[in-house]
Amino acid sequence: MVTNFLLRALDRRTAIVLIAILGVGILLPVLNLATDPSSPFHVPTYVLTLLGKYLTYALLALAVDLVWGFCGILSLGHAAFFALGGYAMGMYLMRQIGDRGTYGNPLLPDFMVFLNWKELPWFWTGFDHFWFAAILVLLVPGILAFVFGWFAFRSRVTGVYLSIITQAMTYALLLAFFRNDMGFGGNNGLTDFKEILGFDIQADTTRGALFFASALALAAGFWICRAVIASKFGKVLVAVRDAESRTRFIGYRVEGYKLLVWTLSAMMAGVAGALYVPQIGIINPGEFAPANSIEAVIWVAVGGRGTLIGPIVGALLVSFGKTWFTSGMLAEYWLFVLGGLFVLVTLFLPKGVVGTFLARDRKKPAEKPIEDVVAPGAVGQAAE
């Protein structure tokens, strides 16, 4: 059932995008490892890491777009899911340090020794195992999203109200994770990682592998989103976005749809966070900042919401712009640019770069919605 669900979404365009993402995922690490540093084709490790970070951002943007672009839920709290996934991974990486920390304590991470803790808190149990952390990377954001969504969607909190309480959610988590007694490293967060799955986290090969993993996750995320959107479920989502009460009156229980897509999206954001942390080497409460969530939204807006390529393009463009600006003399002006981007995109480019481009591309025939790639009625498939 699931295979079929995925396969029927694999049209030509989707396949091209998937191949492109995976191609980059393989090509860049190879160029990094196999070429001489003096070669013009060499990709320095720092560039690889930087681009790896962008890929995780792109996955986060995809997650935001899935709920915002297709279901009309503007989340100002997706950074929370991203950060929770990141913390789950960070806890695993913390346990891998073992007794190589500054204090050399074989049992406790440095910050716990520093806080005079005597034993590992219960919620750190199991994080010695990668598989456990990997499951929690999905489960923690998923469960939070499910509980939050269950309350919010059932009582029909919509529009700006929903946006604001998602923001309050991430804000509350931000405050909570700043506390030392939460047991997540407080202000400093989790850092000084040494190994992942037994490999040196600083080694070029590990970096390459992480980059590929990020590309793989992005490709998988894209494919899943595509399949969701192409299904009847996806059509219901768009219906909810456009006319929620109409959807109810033809018999769809809207809250169930929202809850499912919201939870899926949160889990995607969690995976993105989990891949982000080993590449950046640190996770701290700052990742929960409301500003981060809103920045993810602007990636989607710039790229084009309601398309699946848009958020990827947007995340890459804006992040690249940020790196370029903040590393040069213009660092001070980055916020002007970012702020201006918010204003200009909403005023003049509501469909985003990709959306506008696609709309122009398809103006002539039939004026179809951009997300609607599957043939109406799916006549072809029914034939089997």
Looking at residues 280 to 309 of the shown chain, list those that interact with other proteins (rule: CB under 8 A): 290, 294, 297-298, 301
* φ, ψ of residue 190 in degrees (nearest 5): -110, 130
Binding status of residue 362 toward other proteins by CB under 8 A? no
When binding is defined by CB under 8 A, the residue of 41, 103, 123, 151 that contacts other proteins is 151
Quote the tokens at residue 147: 């509980």
Question: Which 321-360 residues touch other proteins, going by CB under 8 A?
Answer: 332-333, 335-336, 338-343, 345-347, 350
Binding status of residue 66 toward other proteins by CB under 8 A? no
Q: Which H helix or E strand runs over 283?
A: strand 282-283
Question: Which 207-246 residues touch other proteins, going by CB under 8 A?
Answer: 228, 231-233, 235-236, 238-239, 242-243, 245-246
CB of residue 90 vs other proteins: minimum separation in angstroms? 21
* φ, ψ of residue 252 in degrees (nearest 5): -90, 135
Which bin fits 44, alpha (ψ -120 to 50), beta or left (φ > 0)? beta
The Cα 68–Cα 365 span in angstroms is 27
When binding is defined by CB under 8 A, the residue of 24, 260, 317, 359 that contacts other proteins is 260
The Cα 283–Cα 273 span in angstroms is 9
When binding is defined by CB under 8 A, the residue of 54, 193, 223, 257 that contacts other proteins is 257
The Cα 62–Cα 43 span in angstroms is 26
If the CB atoms of residues 207 and 351 are measured against other proteins, the closer one turns out to be 351
CB of residue 265 vs other proteins: minimum separation in angstroms? 14
Binding status of residue 60 toward other proteins by CB under 8 A? no
CB of residue 35 vs other proteins: minimum separation in angstroms? 40
If the CB atoms of residues 3 and 125 are measured against other proteins, the closer one turns out to be 3
CB of residue 227 vs other proteins: minimum separation in angstroms? 9
Please write down the HEC assignment for all residues of 152-205: HHHCCCCHHHHHHHHHHHHHHHHHHHHCHHHCCCHHHCEECCCEECCEECCCHH
Helix (H, G, I), strand (E, B) or coil at 282: strand
Give the amino acid at 247: T
> How many residues contact other proteins, by CB under 8 A?
82
Return the range that interacts with other proteins (CB under 8 A); candidates 126-134, 187-195, 315-323, 370-378.
Answer: 370-378
Quote the tokens at residue 220: 């998988």
Return the range that interacts with other proteins (CB under 8 A); candidates 45-53, 93-101, 172-180, 214-222.
Answer: 172-180
Question: Which 101-130 residues touch other proteins, going by CB under 8 A?
Answer: none
